[in-house]
Amino acid sequence: MTTDFYKYHALGNDYIVIDPNIVNFNLSEKAIQLICDRNFGIGSDGILYGPIFTGDKIELRIFNPDGSEAEKSGNGIRIFSRYLVDAGYIKTKTFQLTTLGGEVAVEVLNPEATLFKVDMGTVTFESELIPVTGSPRQTVAIDLPVNDLTLKATCLSIGNPHCVIPGSEVSQELAVSLGAKIENHPLFPKRINVQFLQVLDRQNIQIEIWERGAGYTLASGSSSCAAASAAYKLGLVDDRVKVHMPGGEIDIEIVGDRVFMTGGVSAVAQGEFAKDFLSCLNLLID
């Protein structure tokens, strides 16, 4: 049987891997939307397209379920790393990947390749690099008006943009009610990922996540990095933090302006696109 796709999840955040070395078509926005649709397609929180070999580099493209392209995804990077090991592309314990949001270093932590540590790169709170509109500034504990509320937000980038909202409690209802409004707020010209943060103690935080282009999400690696980095910047936590999410837990380590993430990956399925579905895809591909 031909294998057209591979599906994995990282703490309930699921991605489909499509390998261009196996499946010979370019993904259009509508094709991505159909593949990710949980009623009419395979269903996922996004598509990981790669490996794309450019010289000695391994490139990864990350697509959201709305068809937009993401710069970086912590869970996506771990999932794609697992696929590279499973498919035999990678046989070493350490390697590098190239994403739209920059280079990342990956370490395989166990023989089963179910646990990975990723150097997610540098964190910046500079408004013009996130981006956040207005005069150049550090976007730490800034006022964010949403409807009749004024929230305190700390915004940052780790290759993709994040807005962290601390509070005394977090919930799915809070993320769903405010997430889209913050994602599409005029302050954020490229939209933004949103994390609602509750500090449990200096080594533990709880977050609820609204992902740009995906919506409410059970877990996110880059969101975990962002929330921990924001909490550390605000002086609320130490430099090693366990991030608790509805889908599970990720360990974050902050070293200077760099952030490291450790978390697991599980394989779900692999399969072949049915002829009916492939016909629909062919109609949608530019």
Q: According to the annotation, is 147 in a ligand binding site?
A: no
74 is in an annotated binding site: yes
What span, in angstroms and rounded, lies between the C-alpha atoms of 36 and 16? Answer: 8
204 is in an annotated binding site: no
CB under 8 A, 24+ apart: contacts of 107-116: 108/81, 109/262, 113/81, 113/82, 113/85, 113/86, 113/265, 114/82, 114/264, 114/265, 114/266, 115/262, 115/263, 115/264, 115/265, 116/78, 116/81, 116/82, 116/262, 116/263, 116/264, 116/265
* 39 appears as a binding residue in the annotation: no
26 has binding-site annotation: no
Q: Do the annotations mark residue 64 as ligand-binding? A: yes
Backbone angles phi, psi at 171, to 5 degrees: -160, 160
CB atoms near residue 190 (< 10 Å): 13
**CA angle at 20 for the pair 277 and 35, rounded to the nearest 5°:** 30
E-only strand ranges, 24-93: 47-54, 57-63, 69-70
Residue 240 is labelled as binding a ligand: no
Q: How far apart are CA 62 and CA 207, in angstroms?
A: 23
Separation between Cα atoms, residue 71 and residue 16, nearest integer Å = 17
In degrees, rounded to 5, the angle at the alpha carbon of residue 190 between the alpha carbons of residues 164 and 122 is 55
Is 167 known to sit in a ligand binding site? no
* Whether 146 contacts 186, CB under 8 Å: no
Distance CA(8)–CA(283), nearest Å, equals 27
Q: Which residues are annotated as a binding site for substrate?
A: 13, 64, 74-75, 160, 193, 211-212, 221-222
Q: Which residues are annotated as a binding site?
A: 13, 64, 74-75, 160, 193, 211-212, 221-222
